[in-house]
Amino acid sequence: MSSKKPYNCNISALGHYVPEKVIDNKYFENYLDTTDEWITERTGIKERRYLEKDQPTSYAATKAVEELLKNRNMSPDEIELIVLTTVTPDMIYPSTACIIQNNIGAKNCWGFDLIAACSGFIFALYTGAQFIKSGTHKKVIVCGADKMSLIADPDDRNNIVLFGDGAAAFLLEPGEDENYGIIDAVARIDGSGGRNLCQLAGGSLHPASHETVDKKMHFIYQDGRTVFKDAVKGMADVSLEIMKRNNLKSEDVAYLVPHQANHRIIAAIAGRMGVSMDKVMMNIHKYGNTTTASIPLCIYEYWADGKLKKDDNIILSSFGAGYTYGSIYVKWTL
């Protein structure tokens, strides 16, 4: 971001949605060669939530945005832009942003979907903030929503236990004090890692066919061990870079908000940053990896529980398919 800041960008309201259906680790013991102990120890996940069959990603996103509007006591017509990030859009097109706009009846906005997998929310927040900082927009909604239960192969113990469904949304508005809000961001892509974590079929490279379905190419593919190593390095690198750039020492950080992929990845990053685990936001035990919803859902819960306070320095950090990775420094205002 430029050091010249015509407007600053505050996070001024939050909303979230987690599905009612809870899937605990025992559920998988019933039909897979796995155990609650293995999943808990190797990932930190105890349970996750699943949307129902007739509830697409837009269902969760709409609920999150509706809660946000209620919390801000705001009419949908005031929204100027919706940036929606997901890897499980309702359809390839129209965009899920359009579906949400129609669901909530927002008559004066535009919007689009952004794909950056597990870094989707960081990239969307960085993008949304530009429209506020430039002064062209006054009310921008950034929403992360995913129905991961749909693209994780239920018979693949390596993947199915990791993921869950959910959504969360932030409202961005201009603020008066440039020392608050979204202060800085670092974002990176590295396509050389693309083959390690991907959904091979359904696009123009491997369009849907009987063969792609038979070969399970519409499900998540990942080389877990490689992704684990690369995620630790990628997230630690960008988080340390943003701390250095903003003269933040580990004791200045109120919370590290890492993408909720695996508690061992999170502990390794916190260790490299010198941040103690009591300063790390975590809800992976309840929801697993909800991809684009993971970071905002975590922030929502800490804020709703009164654990996140005005003036707190928080460092958001993510890593995902692409590879994509990034970090955002926020000085909290709510």
| Residue 313 lies near ligand COA (rule: CB under 6 A) | no
Alpha-helix residue ranges (DSSP H) falling in 167-316? 210-214, 224-245, 263-273, 284-287, 294-304
Instruction: Determine, following the binding rule CB under 6 A, whether residue 323 of this chain makes contact with ligand COA.
Output: no
Distances from the Cα of 293 to the Cα of 30, 85, 164, 243, 258, angstroms: 28, 9, 10, 24, 12
x-or-dash string of contact with ligand COA, 215-254, rule CB under 6 A: -------x-xx-xx--x-----------------------
**Selected binder of ligand COA within 196, 262, 290, 317 (CB under 6 A):** 262
Letters for 101-140 (x = contact with ligand COA by CB under 6 A, - = none) are: -----------------x----------------------
Interacting positions 73-92 with ligand COA (CB under 6 A): none
| Sequence-distant (≥ 6) Cβ neighbours of residue 34 within 8 angstroms | 25, 28, 157, 161
Q: Whole-angstrom distance between the N-terminal and C-terminal Cα of the chain?
A: 23
Give yes or no for residue 164 binding ligand COA (CB under 6 A).
no
C-alpha Rg value of the chain to the nearest Å: 19
289 is catalytic: yes
CB of 72: closest distance to ligand COA in angstroms? 30
Specify the amino acid at residue 244.
Answer: K
Residues forming contacts to ligand COA in the complex (CB under 6 A) are 34, 38-39, 42-43, 118, 157-158, 161, 222, 224-225, 227-228, 231, 261-262, 289, 319-320
Annotated catalytic residues are 118, 259, 289
